[in-house]
């Protein structure tokens, strides 16, 4: 079990597809359901993993009703008899108002929850126990963390042996944790939602664990991660968290706001400084093995993840993903806080999204003259003497801050709903971990690689998982198997994949490069057309030639995405492929469409000479 191998020792069970965890929390498990749950508990225990069973009764519990409390005790007793020795009581994402009957008994909402938690904790003979408050992050604390009557009541009245869960901002600082610990009167357990996508399953996050300094480790009771709903894509998230947890040195490159500019840099800052060599972030050489750096952790995780793609793993059922209208592809606008509060979940997907929505979205972007990756980025005129070129992929550093996709807009970040709001997320799956083999080795060149031997005659429509290598064992002489062996997925391909689907508030350097190059070409195409109209002889000034050179480079970047997806479609691990497929296919289609638009602009510029 990967959790044990990586040094992680707890698993919190709170999936949304178990309706008896939340909506029907009073109902006992059937014999069949209990057998499945017991098997999971037994498996965790055999791998030295503490299995926490979480229950979320806050939607409709009557705190003052002894009948309700008895039902809660009976439910947890059943799970305890299955071998579970650790529990969590969750009151996140619920209405903070009590009923009239509860108001007659309890002084406040916090007093009601504390009373129930303490009583259940004692009834179960004081096992390992966690409590998730309704005010579980700074933005939900009323009015502030320090002055919140709710949080202060929890700190003073909740049994001191009960751990309290807390989700923090996108960058956790020592000062923030000390403030929370003082109010709660105990070190918090961080419920980290950095990689959670249950609030927006049109996106997936595969960047490294960052924005949390290892100097926080002595100040915390523990850290839980709430990763992507998909099982396979969580490899990097879990692996890098385990590296962070094992780090012993307080020296790090990702911990606080001052380091954010280089390592955990947000999308808007990254775009503003893209052309500034001084902003380039390299992973310092000669770091001790115990020192955590997110870029090094990512490289080590990818080296360990790569062999997983070549394992023969079958999958069942159709390729499906929730049909969510994808937003207009513009850069992500970070929200103030990352407050989600769900554990690993399993998706019950209705249907596979089509590329039509994305084509329409890109068409809107192409027609939108206001598209600029950042309001502060300098997109210099081709005729300006002070022009600053956008960095090309090979000029960018191997180690750089990254992010989600080059074209998806995180509209949920600017919505009124909290990113982690349980009530706004779709039903979902147990998550975390994958098998892993292989040892760390030196990182390969991180630039976008285009296979020069790749068959350029193939169109996007000709490739799909159904056309690639069969996951079943076949003869080594099979043409299909031979094709797989001749076109293996590489470490460079994984770097590109992760860069395109990085983190909620950060763009990978290759994603940033795609956006800035496209915006540059789009913004300056009219100058090229005007020049050609004024020079019917077809001669090209340096700035015109520069535009065509950049267009060719953008085409190479598009080809790199296409090559990566074609190699991915040939992997033997079909289960992992089908989890990634909707996201990768969507990205390939969008990038291909943008490249076609750039080519059309070049043809228009050339055709203007003939008019």
Active-site positions read 93
Tokens representing residue 159 in the block = 């049994």
Q: Could you give the 3-state DSSP secondary structure of residue 362?
A: helix
Residue 171 C-beta-side C-alpha neighbours within 13 Å: 19
Give 144-207 as a DSSP string.
-TTT-HHHHHHHHHS-TTSEEEE---SSB-HHHHHHHHHHHTSPPEEEE-TT--TT-TT----P
* Main-chain dihedrals φ then ψ at residue 41, nearest 5 degrees: -65, -45
How many residues would you count in the chain?
611
Q: For residue 416, count other CB atoms closer than 10 A to its CB.
A: 6
Q: Label residues 98-137 b or e (16+ Cβ within 10 Å = b).
A: beeebeeebeebbbbbbbbbbebbeebeeebbbbbbbbbb
The CB density around residue 95, as the number of other CB atoms within 10 Å, is 11
Residue whose token pair is 């290598």: 469
For residue 63, give the 3-state DSSP assignment.
coil
Question: In Å, how far are 106, 208, 375 from 101, measured between CA atoms?
Answer: 9, 48, 53
Our CA dihedral for 63, 64, 66, 70, rounded to 10 degrees, sits at 10
Q: What whole-number distance in Å separates Cα of residue 101 and Cα of residue 64?
A: 7
Task: Decide: 410 and 330 in contact? Cβ < 8 Å.
Answer: no
Interatomic CA distance for residues 108 and 259, integer angstroms: 41
Structure tokens at 277: 């060599």
- CA atoms of 433 and 8, how far apart (whole Å): 11
- Report the distance separating Cα 344 and Cα 14, nearest Å: 7
């Amino acid at each position: 079990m990967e959790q044990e191998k990586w040094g992680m020792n707890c698993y919190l069970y709170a999936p949304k597809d178990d309706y008896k965890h939340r909506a029907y929390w009073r109902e006992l498990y059937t014999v069949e359901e209990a057998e499945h749950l017991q098997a999971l508990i037994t498996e965790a225990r055999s791998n030295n993993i503490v299995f926490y069973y979480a229950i979320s009764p806050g939607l409709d519990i009557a705190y003052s009703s002894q009948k309700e409390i008895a039902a809660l005790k009976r439910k947890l007793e059943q799970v305890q008899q299955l071998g579970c020795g650790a529990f969590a009581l969750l009151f996140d994402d619920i209405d903070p108002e009590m009923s009239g009957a509860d108001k007659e008994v309890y002084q406040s909402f916090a007093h009601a929850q504390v009373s129930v938690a303490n009583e259940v904790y004692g009834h179960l003979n004081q096992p390992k126990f966690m409590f998730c408050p309704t005010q579980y992050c700074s933005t939900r604390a009323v009015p502030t963390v320090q002055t919140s009557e709710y949080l202060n009541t929890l700190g003073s009245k909740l049994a001191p042996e009960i751990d309290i869960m807390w989700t923090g901002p996108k960058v956790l600082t020592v000062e923030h944790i000390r403030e929370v610990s003082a109010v709660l009167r105990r070190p918090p357990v961080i419920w980290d939602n950095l990689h959670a996508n249950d609030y927006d399953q049109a996106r997936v996050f595969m960047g490294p664990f960052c924005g949390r300094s290892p100097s926080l480790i002595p100040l915390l009771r523990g850290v839980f991660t709430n990763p992507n709903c998909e099982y396979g894509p969580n490899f990097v998230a879990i692996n890098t968290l385990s590296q962070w947890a094992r780090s012993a040195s307080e020296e790090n490159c990702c911990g606080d706001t001052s380091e954010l500019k280089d390592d955990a840099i947000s999308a808007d800052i990254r775009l503003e400084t893209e052309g500034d060599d001084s902003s380039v972030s390299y992973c310092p050489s000669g770091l001790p093995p115990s020192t955590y750096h997110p870029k090094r952790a990512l490289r080590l995780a990818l080296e360990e993840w790569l062999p997983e793609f070549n394992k023969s793993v079958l999958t069942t059922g159709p390729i499906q993903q929730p049909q969510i209208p994808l937003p207009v592809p513009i850069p992500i606008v970070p929200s103030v806080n990352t407050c989600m509060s769900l554990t690993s979940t399993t998706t019950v997907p209705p249907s596979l999204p089509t590329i039509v929505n994305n084509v329409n979205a890109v068409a809107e972007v192409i027609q939108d003259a206001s598209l600029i990756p950042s309001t502060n980025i300098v997109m210099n005129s081709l005729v300006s003497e002070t022009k600053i070129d956008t960095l090309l992929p090979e000029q960018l550093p191997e180690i750089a801050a990254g992010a989600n996709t080059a074209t998806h807009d995180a509209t949920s970040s600017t919505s009124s709903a909290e990113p982690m709001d349980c009530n706004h997320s779709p039903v979902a799956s147990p998550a975390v971990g994958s098998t892993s083999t292989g040892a760390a080795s030196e990182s390969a060149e991180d630039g976008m690689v285009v296979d020069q031997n790749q068959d350029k005659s193939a169109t996007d429509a000709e490739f799909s998982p159904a056309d690639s290598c069969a996951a079943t064992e076949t003869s080594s002489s099979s043409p299909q198997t031979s094709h797989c062996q001749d076109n293996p997925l590489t470490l460079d391909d994984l770097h590109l994949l992760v860069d395109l689907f990085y983190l909620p508030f950060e763009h990978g350097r290759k994603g940033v490069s795609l956006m800035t190059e496209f915006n540059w070409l789009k913004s300056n195409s009219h100058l090229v057309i005007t020049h050609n109209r004024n020079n019917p002889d077809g001669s090209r000034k340096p700035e015109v030639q520069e535009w065509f050179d950049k267009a060719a480079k953008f085409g190479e970047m598009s080809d790199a995405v296409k090559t990566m997806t074609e190699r991915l479609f040939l992997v033997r691990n079909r289960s992992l492929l089908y989890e990634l497929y909707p996201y990768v296919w969507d990205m390939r289609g969008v990038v291909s469409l943008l490249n076609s638009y750039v080519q059309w602009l070049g043809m228009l510029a050339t055709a203007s000479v003939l008019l």
